[in-house]
């Protein structure tokens, strides 16, 4: 078994968070050849059940944003999918609970080291932003508005959840400016 396969097997067997409402079920996509990383939040209930990352409304919107066919999106040699928490964290009063902090602490650095060909990381939502940009990065909107600064190594994006439809309506420049540039950049990365 190669190093990446044994690391992946180790993650899949993880039971660190013993109190998860539906139990541990790590959902991620990882291969050392991946050139694009999608850094998300945590699986929802539906994804917990199917075991397929972004197999939900957020995923449909995300693939539309990226202009990416499911065949490419689900090819681990092209795209790695590492949410901040790999297991469904449960639901609170206002939607899904935050990703379990144990998860990034335990796994993220080792998995990121295992992606030597990475060219761009799409950073979805506030939890991934805090990790990939640091706590001092400012608000999600400010970060996304300044998308050109870390481009193309890091791409700050709002979370594609249906809960963010109002944000999208309020910030039409995101769909008009950021998404066309993002699609073009990803097509270049994938063509290399």
- Interface residues toward ligand SF4, by CB under 6 A: 11, 14-17, 24, 26, 85-87, 100, 102-103, 106
CB of 13 to ligand SF4, least distance (A): 9
Instruction: In angstroms, give the least distance from the CB of 107 to ligand SF4.
Output: 6
Distance (Å) of CA 139 to CA 64, 127, 154, 158 = 24, 11, 16, 11
* Contacting residues for 13 by C-beta, under 8 A, at least 6 apart: none
Residue 101 or 180 with smaller CB distance to ligand SF4: 101
User: Which is closer to ligand SF4, CB of 50 or CB of 139?
Assistant: 50
Dist. CA 103–CA 16, nearest whole Å: 8
Least Cβ distance, residue 36 to ligand SF4 (angstroms): 22
Residue number with CB closer to ligand SF4 (14 or 137):
14
Burial pattern 108-131, b for ≥16 Cβ within 10 A else e, equals beebbebbeebbbbbbbbbbbbbb
Nearest approach, Cβ of 40 to ligand SF4 (angstroms)?
A: 13
Q: Are 38 and 79 in contact (CB under 8 A)?
A: yes
Nearer to ligand SF4, 5 or 146 (CB): 5
């Amino acid at each position: 078994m190669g190093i990446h396969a044994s690391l992946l097997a180790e993650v899949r067997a993880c039971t660190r968070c013993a109190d998860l409402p539906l139990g541990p079920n790590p959902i991620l996509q990882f291969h050392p050849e991946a050139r694009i990383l999608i850094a998300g939040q945590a699986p929802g209930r539906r994804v917990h059940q199917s075991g397929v990352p972004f197999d939900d409304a957020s995923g449909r919107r995300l693939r539309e944003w990226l202009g990416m066919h499911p065949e490419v999106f689900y090819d681990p040699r092209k795209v790695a999918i590492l949410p901040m928490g790999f297991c469904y964290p449960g639901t609170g009063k206002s939607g899904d609970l935050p990703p379990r902090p144990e998860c990034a602490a335990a796994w993220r650095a080792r998995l990121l080291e295992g992606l030597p060909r990475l060219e761009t990381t799409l950073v979805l939502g506030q939890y991934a932003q805090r990790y990939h940009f640091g706590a001092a990065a400012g608000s999600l909107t400010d970060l996304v508005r300044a998308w050109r600064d870390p481009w193309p190594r890091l791409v700050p994006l709002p979370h594609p959840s249906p809960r963010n439809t109002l944000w999208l309506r309020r910030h039409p420049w995101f769909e008009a400016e950021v998404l066309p540039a993002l699609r073009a950049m990803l097509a270049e990365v994938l063509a290399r």
